[in-house]
Structure 1
Amino acid sequence: MNAVASYLQHLAAERRLSPHTVAAYQRDLTNLAKLTAGRPLAQLEVSDIRGAIIKLRSRNLSASSVARQLSSWRGFYAFACRRLGYANNPCTGLRPPKAAKALPQILSPDACTQLLDGSGQVAADDALLARDRAMFELFYSSGLRLSELVGLDLHDLNLQAGEAQVTGKGNKTRIVPVGQKALTAMAVWLPFRLPLARADTAAVFVGQHGARLTPRSVQLRLNRWALRAGLNQHVHPHMLRHAFATHVLQSSGDLRAVQEMLGHASISTTQVYTHLDWQHLAKVYDQAHPRARKKS
């Protein structure tokens, strides 16, 4: 087994990263080989890695994309030096290019209400509408990632306690609260699910053929739902997670609690929502303060 294959096996078997993440590491290491004219990875030096970074930047690749690739290369060489006897880590001392932090797009509380209430009542035979409402209420209620939502199984739900157990990044589990509107929507959806779901799936959310719903299906359904609700902006699933975090932070001011509910390993990741909160306050100030309003 070659060095890259050993590393990828380590990521999948020992670190238990998702197949999607492992594939991303593989692409980054394949790209490194291309950028260094196919030279053996064990022979690369700092100047080679620096040259690869320069080539990436010359292609107008964003700083965050370059930083991600350098992180993949650095992880590989740390593993190779520790496990495979590589004598040299050519990534030592190299810093990724700084990227401007892009603030996530969110929906206002009014937009969330319009989205979730804008499709009317669920008819007695409308299983898909009941499922979608339960999905999107749960998204906004609990701040889930898309992968966490589609991976949710029946045994993960405790509707009596108003909570759910979700499996996030790094296969880490956490308990999240489920709000009253989401509980109500789930109670409407679950009887529809019973005759629809295949016997071999424990998934909470299933498609028309009874199998676990795919992330792409959720994205398409949310787009359709937003159109039906009359929202004049593109809505993607992660916007509901961002909205959850921002609205809870605005109401409570408790950054640590939001970090726990989102499942962030570092509070620095959660702090982006404090900037969003400040943007909101600054906008209110500009519109309301006599000394801030522009003269007409």
Structure 2
Amino acid sequence: MDILTAKNSFLNYCRIAKTLSPHTVRAYQTDLAHMAAKLGCHIPVSSISRDDLRAYVGGMLQEQGLKATSVKRRMATVKLLFKWLEREETIPLNPFHRLDLSIRLPRRLPRALTVEDIRKLLERARHEAEVGGTHSAQVMHFIVIALIVTGLRVGELAGVDLSDLNEAEGVILVRGKGNRERQVYLPGATAKAALQAYLKTRAMIETESDRLLISSYGTPVTPPRIRRRLSALADRAGLTRHVTPHMLRHTAATQLIEAGVDIRFVQKLLGHASIATTQIYTQVSDTSLRSTLEQADTLGRIGGQRGR
């Protein structure tokens, strides 16, 4: 079996047997198409060696100048392909077996909004919803609140159906990565009121869609549309940073950690498979603590010790 045939068979397996989301399958398709183009579409998969994989990684990092995060993601997809080929007994030995290959990622803390930026964004969204009163403004107001209090991924929020919503309890059933289901909550009167206000305007729009979030034309609101409208809203709110839905996810997690919520609860809310992924937000909290202490400057404030 050559690489091209293996790639197509694996993608069919992901669609049919694993029932992965179209978004995930498209991502796999992109990663494996790149590998096939670089290694050769028609070479046998059984002939690919550890040296081929090392050369492929080296080419991406050195010749193509790809970021380490992109290379690591692509290699994770390639590894899934070969693991499946080995399980299907298409290849006698997985070239990833005992492969010593480490791709170091730069250590970066998640970007989150400050409390002041959160206030500005929420206030602008609320103002436009109340003053304008349009369906578009109402849906955006609810989206901003939902992302900030739940930490949902934008694709998860866009994929919520009306049947996934318990309006009275403020509970939303979400299907995350790997089709894993979890419940998220809209805590407090403000979040529930934003939901109710949006649902009132939604009920006045003719639509055949069961999606919770719909446009004024009755069509489902897509993640790209949410990204564009959130960025524009942030500009109108006077924020100088480019704001994305994922930044609001980071903001939600950071605020919960700083409020003292147990990290395992935050892990469950965000849908992280491993708590190690969630633990990075404790570092964000520590960074915030240090910044606050530096600003407090206890000795300087009370006229304390001078440097000697």
Letter in 1 for 2:114: S
CA distance in 2, matches of 1:133, 1:26: 35
Aligned positions of 1:146-295 closer than 5 A: 146-179=154-187, 180-198=189-207, 200-290=208-298
Q: Which runs of 5+ in 2 are unaligned?
A: none
Residues 235-271 of structure 1, C-alpha deviations (whole Å, 9 max, x = no match): 1111111111110111124100100111111001101
Deviation at 1:292, TM superposition (A): 8.3
Letter in 2 for 1:205: L
Comparing 159-168 and 25-34, the one that deviates more: 25-34
Q: 1:126 to 1:23 in 2, by over 3 A?
A: closer
Aligned residue pairs: how many? Answer: 295
Deviation at 1:101, TM superposition (A): 2.5
Letter in 2 for 1:88: L
Deviation at 1:124, TM superposition (A): 7.0
Pairing 1:83–2:88 present? yes
Q: Which runs of 5+ in 1 are unaligned?
A: none
Correspondence for 1:74: 79
Deviation at 1:88, TM superposition (A): 2.4
3-state SS, counterpart of residue 66 of structure 2? coil
Q: 1:259 to 1:197 in 2, by over 3 A?
A: farther
Aligned positions of 1:98-113 closer than 5 A: 98-113=104-119
Correspondence for 2:16: 13
Letter in 2 for 1:74: K
Tell whether the 8 Å contact from 1:73 to 1:91 is kept in structure 2 after alignment: no
Deviation at 1:118, TM superposition (A): 2.2
CA distance in 1, matches of 2:256, 2:156: 19
Correspondence for 1:141: 149
Q: CA RMSD in A?
A: 2.1
3-state SS, counterpart of residue 182 of structure 2? strand
TM-score with structure 2 length normalisation?
Answer: 0.89
Give the one of 20, 29, 54 matched to 2:32.
29
3-state SS, counterpart of residue 166 of structure 1? strand
Residues 186-226 of structure 1, C-alpha deviations (whole Å, 9 max, x = no match): 1111111112241x211111112101111111111111211
CA distance in 2, matches of 1:91, 1:227: 47
Give the one of 62, 66, 76 matched to 2:67.
62
CA distance in 1, matches of 2:271, 2:30: 27
CA distance in 2, matches of 1:37, 1:6: 17
Tell whether the 8 Å contact from 2:135 to 2:215 is kept in structure 1 after alignment: no
CA distance in 2, matches of 1:15, 1:128: 36
Deviation at 1:65, TM superposition (A): 1.5
Tell whether the 8 Å contact from 1:197 to 1:211 is kept in structure 2 after alignment: no
3-state SS, counterpart of residue 122 of structure 1? helix
Residues 60-81 of structure 1, C-alpha deviations (whole Å, 9 max, x = no match): 2122221112211111111101
Tell whether the 8 Å contact from 2:45 to 2:91 is kept in structure 1 after alignment: no
Tell whether the 8 Å contact from 2:234 to 2:243 is kept in structure 1 after alignment: yes
3-state SS, counterpart of residue 259 of structure 2? helix
Comparing 26-35 and 218-227, the one that deviates more: 26-35
